[in-house]
Amino acid sequence: MDDTFLTTEDVTSYLQVNLRTVYRLIRTGRIPAVRVGRQWRFRRSDVDGWLEDRRSVTPEIRDGAAPGGEEGVAKAGQQPSAPKHLLVVDADAGTRDSLSKVLQPAEYDVAAASDGRRALAHLESRHCDLLITELKLPGMDGLALVREARLLAPGLPVVVVTGCSTEASAIEAINLGVIGYMIKPFRMSGLFSVIEKALRS
């Protein structure tokens, strides 16, 4: 293994955990990671630091969960919780696909829509835990979508991910109670952190 950076496969072997656990550690920000193309890269010192922290709590690392039960291992007799359902709305098919491909392995249930009308139809048909939307959409902009979505689901957390930000739109998004406001391009590790914050809100 490289003395400075590790691949995802290196980390699963090094920590003796499965791939699902590694994605959880990335998603919750416990181990910083940088996405390079389709792969994640980890600094060896960050992984060692996380490992030392875990060893100070318990000497065991269970496959499928962080030590100490922090990854939500179901207790005896309990059913594992269903994955959170996320709706990604962006007119650009490439953005929709890339976000879906990154979020699904991190144990999110991801749906995508190309415009506000399709997004609202989806929200009417099933429960959604988080809405992630671009501001520039055909027919109905992202802020209008947020207002309409809140009529359907008043407590729905929203994250804006946009390449068309203005000061006015950012202020309006804050006034609408948007949890996160990210400007493209952005780091996926940052998006994971914002998503976790939004889901806890």
Domain that holds residue 53: 5-69
Q: Would you say residue 74 lies in a domain? A: no
CATH number at residue 188: 3.40.50.2300
Along the 201 residues of the chain, how does pLDDT read in single tens digits?
445 788 888 888 877 777 777 887 887 777 887 777 667 888 888 888 877 776 654 333 333 444 334 444 334 444 556 889 999 999 999 999 988 888 887 778 999 999 999 999 999 999 999 999 999 999 999 999 999 999 999 999 999 999 998 899 999 998 999 999 999 888 777 888 888 888 887
Whether residue 181 is found in the same domain as residue 94 = yes
Name the domain count of the chain: 2
Residues 136 and 48 in one domain: no
Q: Which residues of 144-182 are buried (b: 16+ CB within 10 A; e: fewer)?
A: ebbeebeeeeeebbbbbbbeebeeebbeebeeeebbbbb
CATH code of residue 55: 1.10.1660
